[in-house]
Amino acid sequence: MALEINAVTAVAPTRASGYLAASTPTTDGSEFATALGGALDELQQLQATSNDLSLKAVTGDLADIHTATLASARASLALEMAATFRNRGVEAFNEIMRMQA
């Protein structure tokens, strides 16, 4: 499994004031839920790839140990980032609850 670098996409144009035209925001949270679900699916895929390559490394079926090492590091970093987001979300929620008291 080779490390893939995604291309940079084009930057959206701005108005003279520096801000994009306001779009109608959705208030049901479906965009956030979709983004969060996609991120968790990607995390799960990274962990599955890491586990598969680790198993191949243990059984001797892996030709390049660097691939397994990179996959393991990517999965570890993604999991650490997800845990950090979760912790920050819980901290923000607790702070909001303290404000209401």
The residues spanned by each domain of the chain are 35-100
- Taken as a whole, the chain contains a residue count of 101
- CA-CA distance, 101 to 99, in Å (whole number)? 6
Contact by Cβ (8 Å): 62, 53:
yes
Q: What is the pTM of this model?
A: 0.64
10-residue mean pLDDT series, the chain (101 residues): 57 55 70 90 95 93 92 95 95 91 60
Q: How far, rounded to the nearest angstrom, does the alpha carbon of residue 58 sit from its chain's CA centroid?
A: 28
